[in-house]
């Protein structure tokens, strides 16, 4: 039997639920006045999430199915597909849930009733005041919940408040449970979310599945596979809770029923709680339906429910009178299914919608068409965000390769915003993500075109994102990257730490924080952040790579080697790890291994001049003179003005005894680096080899003018070969006696 953390059912409305003549569990309210209206319902249940890091539930979707079946029955109000939307598992995306709730606001009238049922995970990542909690929809990321794919409780509050202002009664049931580890587990995230529900809806009737410190249980022994709370809640609403036999179930009765049955079924490990007016009627019983129904039979396997993707708000038979129009309407639906959402081509869903929206016969379909297209646009952009948040390699490579593919997502979100209009209660979230993608595109465009001025525009867009969603960890992380691009590592650290404060279980900002501390030579802080990133995501290539760079600096070379190798296990195409691992091996005189890793680098990126210089140097160490020469020449073919290549080439020719070519190389080097003494020291050595005393004096004079205290000669790695040459040392002692001091 699996345990799931405390779930909540909350009954909301304008006052209490009214005692009007609805059938079955139609809400009722104390008082003499009676209201009439239409009942609308949205039922969502998610057991299996898109991201495998979100633990699966066994029966959340089945609990939702049973509740929806109940609403379709006479006892529950006989709701048809126009008034009941059922979103199960992959159909319950964040965009679909949000847009369906928004549709309700546009459809309802005063006196109507709305039932909202959600069964799935609920969580809070960090215990901050501006993080009230989230209901996790099917496409929720495993962390950074504010990035989308979730239903924020503040937004749910807006929906309920808007409905209340329209004098619509609301029955909200959330069974937001947790099984296993979620992003907020360290902070008791599910319990914090449950407490947020109590705070946000503090004036309404609430039914909680268990005490705050208890676990809500699910098992096959309840209805063939149900949550124990949902199982007995349904039995109670159907009539078994009616203790006095008056045909009504009030709050006192459902509370006692749940207390007795759930408490006994779980051996006192789970005790539901009901708070509010004890006399408020929460269900009316249909005697015929009650006699015929058995909750045990409602296993949820065959519910006959109509998913939203197949549901229409009007009968498509009406289009039979215009076959051409029906064909275009079907093309529109297929374009959405095929992902052809935008574009100037006539076959895109957007182009078809623009042509069809003024057709008179399609007026009954228009809202559903707008809804489906907006949800598809928003959902597609959400997939790109999710891939980044879970450090999907393909997604990371798109960003590392400075892809222009992200341009489309900003446009998708802009079009979704246009379709949904100004009254959309989820508009802030939608526009925040639009500004995020716009900022990301400015950054990638700046990197592609080598135009750092675009970074300023990127930061401005991301700040707009934060104005709309102040807890958007993904935006803080992106600004941190931009500040690091601008070499403002202190500022970058501030933004990475802000991202972490809102999403402490997201590994990527920890890895970025490690890199910025590394850049500032704060190796202790860098090591801590890198180890934290690895602990959160052992497959994150940047976490291992950043940590390895830091470990090299603190002389933990064996550990550094391990993490470079782990980075390459995570992503065999990550060329920078080959580069750094080669450098580590070179420093340890493991020249064959260094050569192997650098050759792996050039297989993936043959455009880097410095890498061919490295290969030339290691080829010399391995006695491969011809290969060394080819590597140096390759570096110069890539960049004819690459001074390190002339430096290495000059030393190579000296080693081979080819003094004329060495002299030519160092003469070119001093042209490229006229302020450096290095080239002149080598030219002095060459003059000595050519037995040209005046050349020695002249070049040493030029070197001395640039290195008056001889610190470069004594310390520079570029001059190591000269320092090791005894005859050069004798020459220097003769010409400049104090050079060693």
Average pLDDT for 239-244:
91
User: Is residue 88 pLDDT above 90, yes or no?
Assistant: yes
Contact between 488 and 508 (Cβ < 8 Å): no
Q: What is the pLDDT of residue 274?
A: 75
Q: What is the pLDDT of residue 17?
A: 37
User: Is residue 600 pLDDT above 90, yes or no?
Assistant: yes
Query: Which residue did the predictor score with more confidence, 162 or 643?
Result: 643
**Which of the four pLDDT bands, split at 50, 70 and 90, describes residue 316?**
low
Token couple for 590: 């493991």
User: Is residue 6 pLDDT above 50, yes or no?
Assistant: no
29-38, 100-109, 297-306: which is most confident: 100-109
User: Is residue 567 pLDDT above 90, yes or no?
Assistant: yes
Token couple for 511: 């890895």
Task: Return the number of other C-beta atoms located less than 10 Å from residue 691's C-beta.
Answer: 8
Q: What is the pLDDT of residue 167?
A: 86
Residue 529: enclosing H or E segment and its boundaries?
A: helix 523-536
**Which of the four pLDDT bands, split at 50, 70 and 90, describes residue 52?**
confident
Q: What backbone phi and psi angles, to 5 degrees, belong to 298?
A: -85, 70
Q: pLDDT (tens digit, 9 = 90+) per residue, 12-46? A: 433 333 333 332 333 333 332 233 589 999 999 99
Residue 19: enclosing H or E segment and its boundaries?
A: none
Query: Which residue did the predictor score with more confidence, 276 or 225?
Result: 225
Q: Tell me what the pLDDT averaged over the chain comes to.
A: 84
Q: What is the pLDDT of residue 584?
A: 97
**Which of the four pLDDT bands, split at 50, 70 and 90, describes residue 96?**
very high
User: Is residue 713 pLDDT above 80, yes or no?
Assistant: yes
How many angstroms separate the CA atoms of 165 and 155, rounded? 15
Q: pLDDT (tens digit, 9 = 90+) per residue, 394-423? A: 777 777 777 777 889 999 999 999 999 988
Q: Is the alpha carbon torsion for 652, 656, 661, 663 positive or negative?
A: positive
Angle of CA points 438, 439, 444, to nearest 5°:
100
Angle of CA points 216, 218, 222, to nearest 5°:
125
Q: pLDDT (tens digit, 9 = 90+) per residue, 242-276? A: 999 898 888 899 889 989 998 999 898 888 877 66
Q: What is the pLDDT of residue 587?
A: 95
Q: pLDDT (tens digit, 9 = 90+) per residue, 450-470? A: 999 999 999 999 999 999 999
User: Is residue 670 pLDDT above 90, yes or no?
Assistant: yes
Q: What is the pLDDT of residue 648?
A: 96
Contact between 607 and 584 (Cβ < 8 Å): no
Three-state DSSP state, 725: coil
Residue 549 CA, distance from chain mean position: 25
Residue 244 CA, distance from chain mean position: 52
Q: What is the pLDDT of residue 311?
A: 43
Contact between 193 and 176 (Cβ < 8 Å): yes
Query: Which residue did the predictor score with more confidence, 392 or 118?
Result: 118
Contact between 684 and 723 (Cβ < 8 Å): no
Q: What is the pLDDT of residue 295?
A: 45
Contact between 180 and 55 (Cβ < 8 Å): yes
Average pLDDT for 108-116:
89
User: Is residue 309 pLDDT above 70, yes or no?
Assistant: no
Q: Which CA distances in Å does 597 have to 539, 567, 611?
A: 21, 13, 11
Q: pLDDT (tens digit, 9 = 90+) per residue, 615-663? A: 999 999 999 999 999 999 999 999 999 999 999 999 999 999 999 999 9
Q: Tell me the longest C-alpha to C-alpha distance in the chain.
A: 119
Residue 364 CA, distance from chain mean position: 37
Task: Return the number of other C-beta atoms located less than 10 Å from residue 569's C-beta.
Answer: 13
The CA-to-CA distance between both ends of the chain, in Å, stands at 78
**Which of the four pLDDT bands, split at 50, 70 and 90, describes residue 212?**
low
Q: Which CA distances in Å does 300 have to 47, 70, 178, 303?
A: 13, 11, 21, 6
């Amino acid at each position: 039997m699996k345990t799931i953390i405390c779930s909540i059912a909350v009954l909301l409305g304008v006052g209490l639920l009214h005692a009007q003549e609805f059938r079955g569990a139609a809400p009722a309210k104390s008082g003499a006045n009676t209201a009439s209206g239409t009942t609308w319902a949205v039922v969502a249940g998610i057991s299996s999430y898109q991201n495998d890091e979100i633990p699966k539930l066994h029966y959340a979707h089945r609990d939702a199915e049973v509740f929806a079946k109940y609403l379709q029955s006479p006892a529950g109000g006989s709701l048809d597909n126009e008034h009941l939307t059922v979103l199960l598992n992959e159909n319950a995306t964040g965009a679909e849930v949000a847009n369906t709730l928004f549709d309700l606001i546009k459809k309802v009238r005063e006196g109507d009733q709305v039932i909202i049922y959600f069964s799935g995970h609920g969580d809070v990542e960090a215990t901050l005041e501006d993080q009230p909690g989230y209901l996790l929809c099917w496409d929720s990321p495993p962390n950074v919940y504010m990035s989308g794919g979730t239903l924020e409780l503040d937004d749910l509050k807006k929906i309920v408040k808007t409905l209340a202002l329209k004098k619509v009664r609301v029955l909200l049931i959330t069974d937001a449970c947790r099984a296993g580890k979620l992003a907020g587990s360290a902070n008791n995230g599910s319990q914090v979310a449950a407490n947020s529900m109590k705070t946000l809806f503090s004036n309404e009737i609430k039914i909680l599945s268990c005490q705050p410190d208890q676990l809500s249980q699910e098992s096959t022994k309840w209805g063939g596979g149900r949550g124990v709370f949902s199982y007995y809640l349904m039995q109670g609403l159907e009539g078994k809770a009616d203790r006095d036999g008056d045909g009504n179930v009030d709050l006192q009765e459902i509370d006692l029923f749940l207390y007795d049955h759930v408490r006994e079924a779980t051996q006192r490990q789970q005790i539901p709680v009901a708070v509010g007016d004890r006399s408020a009627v929460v269900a009316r019983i249909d005697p015929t339906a009650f006699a015929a129904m058995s909750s045990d039979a409602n296993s949820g396997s065959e519910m006959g429910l109509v998913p939203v993707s197949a549901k229409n708000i009007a009968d498509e038979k009406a289009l039979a009178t215009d076959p051409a129009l029906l064909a275009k309407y079907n093309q529109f639906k297929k374009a959405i299914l095929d992902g052809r959402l935008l574009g100037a081509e006539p076959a895109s869903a957007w182009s078809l919608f623009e042509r069809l929206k003024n057709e008179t016969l399609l007026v009954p379909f228009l809202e559903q068409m707008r809804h489906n297209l907006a949800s598809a646009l928003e959902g597609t952009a959400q997939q790109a965000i999710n891939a980044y948040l879970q450090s999907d390699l393909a997604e990371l490579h798109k960003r590392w390769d400075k892809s222009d593919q992200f341009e489309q997502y900003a446009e998708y979100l802009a079009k979704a915003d246009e379709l949904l209009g100004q009254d959309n209660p989820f508009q802030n979230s939608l526009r925040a993500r639009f500004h995020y993608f716009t900022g990301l595109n400015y950054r990638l465009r700046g990197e592609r075109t080598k135009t750092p001025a675009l970074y300023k525009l990127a930061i401005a867009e991301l700040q707009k994102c934060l104005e709309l969603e102040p807890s958007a960890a993904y935006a803080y992380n992106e600004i941190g990257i931009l500040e690091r691009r601008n070499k403002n590592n202190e500022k970058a650290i501030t933004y990475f730490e802000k991202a972490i404060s809102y999403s402490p279980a997201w590994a990527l900002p920890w890895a970025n924080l490690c890199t910025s501390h590394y850049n500032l030579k704060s190796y202790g802080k860098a090591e801590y952040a890198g180890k934290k990133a690895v602990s959160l995501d052992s497959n994150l290539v940047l976490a291992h790579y950043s940590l390895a760079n830091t470990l090299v600096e603190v002389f933990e070379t064996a550990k550094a080697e391990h993490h470079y190798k782990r980075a390459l296990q995570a992503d065999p195409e990550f060329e920078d790890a080959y580069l750094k691992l080669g450098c580590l091996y070179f420093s340890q005189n493991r020249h064959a291994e260094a050569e192997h890793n650098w050759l792996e680098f050039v297989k993936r990126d043959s455009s880097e001049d410095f890498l061919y210089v490295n290969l030339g140097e290691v080829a010399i160490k391995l006695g491969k003179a011809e290969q060394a020469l080819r590597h140096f020449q390759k570096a110069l073919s890539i960049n004819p003005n690459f001074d390190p290549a002339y430096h290495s080439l000059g030393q190579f020719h000296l080693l081979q005894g080819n003094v004329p070519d060495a002299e030519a190389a160092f003469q070119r080097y001093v042209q490229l680096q006229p302020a450096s003494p290095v080239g002149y020291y080598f030219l002095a050595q060459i003059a000595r080899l050519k037995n040209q005393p005046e050349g020695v004096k002249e070049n040493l004079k030029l070197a001395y003018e640039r290195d008056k205290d001889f610190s470069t000669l004594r310390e520079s790695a570029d001059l190591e070969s000269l320092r090791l040459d005894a005859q050069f040392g004798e020459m220097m002692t003769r010409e400049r006696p104090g050079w060693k001091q």
